[in-house]
């Protein structure tokens, strides 16, 4: 069984998930409401300024680290009620790398992502909840290899710049998911079933 097996699942999250970031910028205080009103609107993810890293731990070994770089998606931030905001993100599963060409080919193959039949993964939010002034919990549905399962991401606002249609926001996103639920469980338990995701995303208002 290849040492790189577990890598695959990580990617998926991308996608995801880059998608929920904007929501974290809202606060329940009067000041936060002003920020929410200022940031309300529809945003496009900026692929060149967005990346998602993933990790799959390995028993007694170094584990697998990699990243995805090809994303697209929209974030619709509701200025009156953040819970009505929507995140919809797509990631190209074929655009991932671990720094090992052979390992990358395996992860993109039938045992993991099966890029030939399922070239994309998708995340769409179903619930957005404020946690603190700068953080939010975003729940939604992640679809990989034609399988859809619920996942949760925690989002923090890093910075927001500009105004009007040029406003951009940068977010840090963290989450985990079980790759076995997406028919990517090869290598368990030598390689962890849980995939850890860390996403840095930038979105621009259109």
81-136 pLDDT, tens digit each: 889 999 999 999 999 999 999 999 999 999 999 999 999 999 999 999 988 877 88
Q: CB under 8 Å to 88, separation ≥6 — which residues? A: 19, 73, 74, 75, 122, 123, 124, 125
Residue 8: pLDDT band by 50, 70, 90 thresholds?
very low
What rounded mean pLDDT belongs to the chain? 84
Count Cβ atoms below 10 Å from residue 33 Cβ, excluding itself. 15
Percent of the chain with pLDDT over 90: 67
User: Two tokens at 136?
Assistant: 């939010």
Residue from 130, 152, 191, 166 nearest 41 by CA: 166
Whose tokens are 């671990």? That residue is 98
| Residues in a beta bridge with 173 | 155, 199
3-state class (DSSP) for residue 139:
strand
- Distance between CA 72 and CA 195 in Å, rounded? 21
Q: CB under 8 Å to 128, separation ≥6 — which residues? A: 20, 23, 82, 83, 85, 87, 136, 137, 138, 139
* pLDDT score at 134: 78
Give CATH for domain 5-205.
Answer: 2.40.128.110
């Amino acid at each position: 069984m290849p040492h790189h097996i577990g890598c695959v699942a990580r990617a998926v999250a991308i996608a995801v998930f880059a998608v929920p970031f904007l929501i974290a910028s809202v606060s329940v205080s009067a000041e936060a409401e002003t920020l929410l009103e200022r940031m309300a609107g529809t945003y496009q993810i900026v692929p060149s300024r967005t990346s998602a890293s993933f990790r799959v731990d390995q028993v007694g070994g170094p584990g697998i680290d990699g990243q995805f770089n090809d994303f697209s998606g929209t974030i619709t931030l509701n200025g009156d009620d953040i819970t009505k905001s929507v995140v919809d993100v797509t990631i190209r599963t074929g655009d991932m790398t671990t720094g090992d060409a052979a390992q990358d080919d395996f992860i993109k193959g039938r045992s993991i992502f099966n890029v030939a039949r399922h070239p994309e993964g998708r995340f769409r939010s179903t619930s957005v909840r404020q946690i603190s002034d700068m953080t939010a919990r975003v729940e939604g549905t992640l679809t990989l290899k034609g399988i859809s399962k619920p996942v949760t991401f925690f989002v923090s606002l890093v910075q927001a710049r500009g105004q009007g249609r040029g406003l951009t926001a940068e977010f840090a996103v963290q989450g985990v998911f079980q790759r076995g639920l997406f028919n990517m469980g090869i290598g368990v338990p030598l390689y962890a079933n849980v995939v850890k995701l860390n996403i840095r995303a930038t979105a621009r208002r259109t």
